[in-house]
Amino acid sequence: MKVCVVGTGGREHALRHVLARTSEVVEEDADLYVIGPEAPLVEGLADRLRAEGKLVFGPGADGARLEGSKAWMKEVLAAAGVPTARHGVFREVEPAVEFLKSLPGLYVVKTDGLAAGKGVLVTESLADAAEDVRAKLSGSAFGPAGRTVVIEEGLSGGELSVLAVCDGSRAAVLPTARDFKRAADGDTGPNTGGMGAYSPVPDAAGLAFDDVIDRTLGELRRRGIEYRGVLYAGLMLTPEGVKVLEYNVRFGDPEAQVVLPRYAGDLAALLAEAAAGELRSQPKCVDDACVCVVLAAQGYPVSPRTGDVIAGVEDARQVEGALVFEAGVARHGEGPLVTAGGRVLDVCAVGPGVDEARRRAYEAVSRISFAGMQYRTDIAA
Ligand code: AMP
Ligand code: GLY
């Protein structure tokens, strides 16, 4: 089978790497198209390719609204009876601030539209939350994506990402992963697209997520939406049980980089079955764990600097179990590899257990260098 992966980040590199074990990865003229990022899905790329008769793994614009509009997602969750945080949707400052005042104390303000993982503020300060509402609704913070906000009560508990491969009515749930969204050690600093991840998550052992996914797919079907692609549930393990914080409509980045290397079956076959609405394979994964440490550019996530020369990638790949995925890099002709994005490299390692995978990943990290390189030292610690 010939497979084309749409997208250029670390997630897509991981997809190509694992798909290439069992299929031929091509640039175009493929038997199967796998769409990586959310923006083209929300814009309807899957619909356009399907209209040309192509086999596509990725939801149409109708299903991708789950990520394109958090307000709509919350409506679907409520209709599906899936547990989630109490919320309100606002376009005006005053009622939004009134709603904030009615919440018990941890405030969450989200842009309705896409904001590359940076549109969420979680704060204990009512003043900061109100200020954020003003910045978002005025359009100054996130443009049109912020002109509607979703305000939620803050929940607490361990977080978990669950990726389910869906064929419209059935789902194959992949192993759990946990990502690290804050920029700095100890979960401090601004939210980012993700600074690292690991899989599996020990405190999720024994929990089943099929019910959450099945209810959501069922609700989408009731609305006439045939969802064929990854449904990514961002979950929180609260004292009252598992609650959905968000849905994304594609593989997580960097969750894909730790879940997919553990895949032991034929990933291309699994995704092709889902794309055709005929999911039959049971997902198969190795017991080994995988850890990913993201190397980010100076200035990330605010204003990443580009053009810094990167050294040591091939050396890092020699570490046992290591995989280095290219997230934001460029190579000009015969020149050296240079930084070309906020998240630059995803340094991953597979190993027997999270601790050993972590040790290997940081050993690989220690072999790489570029000016301004920043990363967290506490991924999977
Ligand atoms: P989201 O993009 O909706 O997943 O939000 C990004 C991050 O904000 C999540 O991974 C959580 O860490 C945090 N978050 C989102 N919603 C809530 C909530 N209701 N309570 C506490 N934290 C939240
Ligand atoms: N790692 C979070 C995301 O992919 O949205």
Q: Is the CB of 219 under 6 A from ligand 2?
A: no
Q: How far is CA 236 from the centre of its chain?
A: 15
| pLDDT the model gives residue 193 | 87
Q: Is the CB of 159 under 6 A from ligand 1?
A: yes
CB 3 within 8 A of CB 12: no
% of the chain exceeding 90 in pLDDT: 91
Mean pLDDT along residues 102-130: 91
276 has pLDDT over 80? yes
**How many Cβ atoms sit within 10 Å of the Cβ of residue 295?**
26
362 has pLDDT over 80? yes
Q: How far is the CA of 278 from the centre of ligand 1 (A)?
A: 33
Report the residue among 106, 108, 159 best suited for mutation to probe ligand 1: largest number of ligand atoms under 8 A from its CB.
108
Cα(329)–Cα(340) distance, integer angstroms: 5
- 246 secondary structure, DSSP code: E
Q: How far is the CA of 95 from the centre of ligand 1 (A)?
A: 22
- 263 secondary structure, DSSP code: B
CB 172 within 8 A of CB 283: yes
Nearest by Cα to 257 from 295, 232, 233, 292 = 292
Cα(292)–Cα(232) distance, integer angstroms: 18
Q: Is the CB of 283 under 6 A from ligand 2?
A: no
Domain ranges of the chain: 86-153, 158-275, 289-365
Residue type, 68: G
Q: Is the CB of 152 under 6 A from ligand 1?
A: yes
| pLDDT the model gives residue 165 | 98
CB 354 within 8 A of CB 360: no
Cα(298)–Cα(374) distance, integer angstroms: 7
Give me the helices (H) in 152-266, please.
210-222, 255-259
Cα(139)–Cα(144) distance, integer angstroms: 6
Mean pLDDT along residues 208-237: 96
SS3 of residue 13 by DSSP: helix
| pLDDT the model gives residue 258 | 98
Q: Is the CB of 38 under 6 A from ligand 2?
A: no
CATH architecture, range 86-153: 2-Layer Sandwich (3.30)
Q: How far is the CA of 371 from the centre of ligand 1 (A)?
A: 32
pLDDT tens for each residue of 156-202: 999 999 999 999 999 999 999 999 999 999 999 988 889 999 999 99
Q: Is the CB of 196 under 6 A from ligand 2?
A: no
Cα(62)–Cα(70) distance, integer angstroms: 13
- 205 secondary structure, DSSP code: T
From the CA of 251, give the closest atom in ligand 2.
Answer: 4
CATH architecture, range 158-275: 2-Layer Sandwich (3.30)
Q: How far is the CA of 193 from the centre of ligand 2 (A)?
A: 6
Task: Write the secondary structure of 267-321 as one string of H (helix), E (strand) and C (coil).
Answer: HHHHHHHHHCCCCCCCCCECCCEEEEEEEECCCCCCCCCCCCECECHHHHHCCCC
Q: Which-ligand-closest: CA of 252?
A: 2
Phi/psi of residue 107, each to 5°?
-110, 140
Q: Is the CB of 248 under 6 A from ligand 2?
A: yes
Report the residue among 245, 247, 250 best suited for mutation to probe ligand 1: largest number of ligand atoms under 8 A from its CB.
245
Cα(35)–Cα(46) distance, integer angstroms: 8
| pLDDT the model gives residue 162 | 97
Q: Which residue do the tokens 């509009």 mark? A: 69
Instruction: Give 30's pLDDT tier (boundaries 50, 70, 90).
Output: very high
Q: How far is the CA of 378 from the centre of ligand 1 (A)?
A: 20
Q: Is the CB of 179 under 6 A from ligand 2?
A: yes
- Bridge partners (DSSP) listed for residue 151: 88, 109
**How many Cβ atoms sit within 10 Å of the Cβ of residue 130?**
18
How does the average pLDDT of the chain come out, rounded?
A: 96
CB 212 within 8 A of CB 66: no
Cα(357)–Cα(198) distance, integer angstroms: 9
Instruction: Quote the pTM value.
Output: 0.95
203 has pLDDT over 90? no
Q: Is the CB of 87 under 6 A from ligand 1?
A: no
CATH 3.90.600.10 assigned to domain 289-365? The reply is: yes
SS3 of residue 142 by DSSP: coil
CB 259 within 8 A of CB 230: no
pLDDT tens for each residue of 31-40: 999 999 999 9
Check for a shared fold between 86-153 and 289-365: no
Residue type, 311: A
Q: How far is the CA of 333 from the centre of ligand 1 (A)?
A: 42
